[in-house]
């Protein structure tokens, strides 16, 4: 019996393990929440920038249809 009580100092109780797991899960939940908020903010900023008229005109001018070339024999 004396040997058992001497080795029990290294054991972790269920309550201690539960507390550690709850703290760890809450930290990860907080980090995931921050990442989701940042994702929505970046998405909104990207939408705002893509709706600007200067950006649209540059994109529309830079595209040219190359399928009417001589390689396709579209006579």
**75 belongs to a structural domain:** no
**59 belongs to a structural domain:** no
Q: pLDDT tens digit string along 37-49?
A: 999 999 999 888 8
Q: Which domain holds residue 29?
A: 23-50
Q: pLDDT tens digit string along 5-62?
A: 555 566 888 999 999 999 999 999 999 999 999 999 999 998 888 887 665 555 566 6
**4 belongs to a structural domain:** no
**36 belongs to a structural domain:** yes
**37 belongs to a structural domain:** yes
Residue found by looking up tokens 């019996």 in the block? 1
Please state the φ and ψ torsions of residue 67, each to the nearest 5 degrees: -80, -5
Please tell me the total count of domains within the chain. 1
DSSP string, 15-65: HHHHHHHHHHHHHHHHHHHHHHHHHHHHHHHHHHHHTSHHHHHHHHHH---
């Amino acid at each position: 019996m004396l040997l058992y009580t001497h080795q029990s100092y290294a054991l972790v109780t269920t309550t201690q393990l539960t507390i550690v797991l709850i703290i760890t899960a809450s930290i990860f939940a907080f980090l995931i929440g921050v990442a989701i908020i940042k994702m929505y903010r970046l998405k909104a900023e990207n939408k705002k920038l893509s709706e600007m008229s200067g950006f649209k005109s540059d994109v529309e001018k830079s595209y040219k249809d190359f399928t009417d070339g001589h390689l396709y024999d579209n006579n």
